[in-house]
Chains A and B, each alone.
Chain A
Amino acid sequence: MKNRQEIVEKIETLSRDSDPAFQINTNEVLATYQHLDENRTNITIKILSILGVIISVLSFLGALFSLNLLDDKLNLIICGSLFLIIAIYCIKKYNSIIIDTASITSYIVGGWMLIYGIDTDHINNILILCLVINLSTLAIVQRYLISLLNILCIIYALIALISYNTDHLVWIALMNIVLMVALMYVLMQEALLLSKRNIMSTIYQSLRIALTLSTIATTAYIVLSHFKTYETYDNNTAIALYTLSVAYSVVILYLVRKIIQKFDNRMANKSILIYILVILILVSTIINPGISGAIILILLCFYYQYKFGLSIGIIALLFFLWHFYYNLNFSLLTKSIFLMLSGFVFLAIYYVINSKKINNEKI
């Protein structure tokens, strides 16, 4: 446990080299640490909490279904709103993980009942209602888990709206690019967002997770829908796929440039060679933006040391690689040669990077 002494030491270390006008409210800091300690959850508690929410939501909704209580729409709307209000009130008043399970269950059940009770055939209206509920909740209360839920619902309500109102997959690809750019902005401008000290800094962590998950999930959706309609050769999906690929390739080149800059002058001479090799890899994955997307996630998250994003990136890379080779309509011989060549390109980059080190050490 971080005792008072340790925390004060940390504050002093961090306050070194500050501006002369730097002031810090030590009591508030100590209070925050105290509160964090009381609510320190390990993975067991988190998983237990999520499982509890899922089981109780499902059984409550199951009971509603089987008892035919879903027919009385006005009742549903009133009860749903009540559940929502109670949930938001509890979360706002008691800032504690213990109340969270019950509150989030109440929130999900209430929201679902309210939306189901409105009973309209226009899916657009349902999605807009969902959007409104989540935006208002986000404005009223900002806590880790509930804000994560809200942001995810907002993103997916928007994607569902786009997907329902247009036939073309390319709009979702554009939305995906927006999400990726937003993720890059959130990771790169961490200092800016933290310094603003407003609602954005409070929901920063939830925003980061939500954007990571939704970017990779939307990419997976586009890749999988393309390959599902591969036989019918739907022109729609191909355009979406290539748009995404090109956008991701540009992002990777930008990131490679940023990384090379970090190594100062040592890599400057060989940087053109590295760019060419990277472009070679990107060309080979042009029909699967999932691979380039996963690589972007891995490089970004390692740069900004975001461990959760890094693990998601690695799992996504493995999944997309498997999917890519599984679906390739070439013979096993072609696939094997393809694989070996890609392997050699990776090893080539490895030797290019390391040869400079050896050269430098000799000098």
Chain B
Amino acid sequence: MKHARTSPYHPLQIPIGLIIWSLWFVVIYGGQAVICAVAPPDPRQGVWNWLNGGLGLLTLFTVALLLGLAHYFWRLSRAPRALNERQLFVTKLAAGIHLIAALATLFVGVPLLQIPPCL
């Protein structure tokens, strides 16, 4: 019996939310490090500079994506046709993981509103 890895009921879906979070984390940490080395914004601009802004937009986009996926899996777990125990486990867990990843993204992104970069 084969389980397509792209099926929403395959357990590979479980960690994807956190993998997206990890990638986002690498991008904002690496991004600010590289840009601070190459073209740091003027510290007098405070937090309202293009670097914080760009990373902030990316953060919002990621949060939206993760919330969307969480919603998708949540709906799947309440699908009209009955799921078996294993599919229920996978979809509910995936929904939870995506939700947690969205919260984590939002939470880690908050300092973008508070601290100017590169100092």
| A is bound by B | no
**A residues with CB within 8 A of B:** none
**B residues with CB within 8 A of A:** none
